[in-house]
């Protein structure tokens, strides 16, 4: 999916926690949310992220399910998001996600927004639901549909190989 002129990339993803956030098994994840978010805030190309008064989105309810944690961000380009996801501390936590999160078939959606627009949670949900129901399109797409697909596929293959061993 080619980036239209004067547009940014919106990213919405969800994760279903395996344990309550105050469970000791979630401690390492919870204690590093602010650290990882702070890193994102400093990455060139980061524009914005949805957060509540606590500085993150873990208290925002989505799909009327308290076990689902949402994340909604805006980036100048796919390359900026790709750099954050795969080339920073975030990648180490992503690699360990199965320690904290239950599998969900489709967890991430990307879409182009006019520069300056700040999408709300309902917009993120609408794009994710559309991707699930209709597959990739200009309205909603995923890592596989952009130039960052190679890194996503490598990470997915590595995870599948770990489980097969």
Domain ranges of the chain: 7-164
Model pLDDT for residues 79-137, shown as the tens digit of each residue = 999 999 999 999 999 999 999 999 999 999 999 999 999 999 999 999 999 999 999 99
Of 25, 23, 46, which is closest to residue 36 (Cα–Cα)? 46
Indicate whether 151 pLDDT > 80. Answer: no
Of 134, 146, 93, 79, which is closest to residue 71 (Cα–Cα)? 93
pLDDT at residue number 81? 96
First to last CA, the chain: 35
Q: Which fold has domain 7-164?
A: Alpha-Beta Plaits (3.30.70)
What is the DSSP annotation of 112-138? EEETT----HHHHHHHHHHHHHH-S-S
Between these two residues, 119 and 150, which has the higher pLDDT value? 119
Indicate whether 157 pLDDT > 60. Answer: no
- Residue 18 near residue 104, CB atoms below 8 Å: no
The backbone torsions φ and ψ at residue 55, rounded to the nearest 5 degrees and listed phi first, read 90, 10
Model pLDDT for residues 31-84, shown as the tens digit of each residue = 999 999 999 999 999 999 999 888 889 989 999 999 999 999 999 999 999 999
Residue 125 three-state SS: helix
Of 2, 148, 153, 165, which is closest to residue 83 (Cα–Cα)? 148
Indicate whether 159 pLDDT > 70. Answer: no
């Amino acid at each position: 999916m080619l980036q239209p002129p004067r547009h940014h990339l919106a990213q919405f993803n969800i994760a279903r926690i395996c344990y309550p956030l105050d469970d000791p098994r979630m401690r390492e994840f919870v204690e590093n949310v602010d650290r990882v978010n702070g890193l994102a805030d400093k990455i060139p190309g980061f524009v914005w992220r949805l957060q509540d008064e606590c500085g993150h989105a873990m208290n925002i309810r989505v799909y009327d399910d308290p076990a689902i944690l949402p994340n909604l961000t805006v980036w100048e380009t796919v390359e900026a998001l790709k750099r954050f996801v795969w080339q920073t501390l975030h990648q180490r936590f992503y690699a360990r996600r199965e320690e904290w999160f239950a599998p969900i078939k489709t967890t991430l959606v990307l879409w182009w927004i006019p520069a300056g627009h700040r999408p709300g949670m309902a917009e993120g949900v609408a794009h994710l639901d559309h991707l699930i129901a209709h597959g990739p399109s200009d309205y909603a797409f995923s890592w596989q549909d952009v130039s960052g697909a190679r890194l996503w596929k490598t990470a997915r293959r590595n995870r599948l190989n770990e489980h097969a061993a």
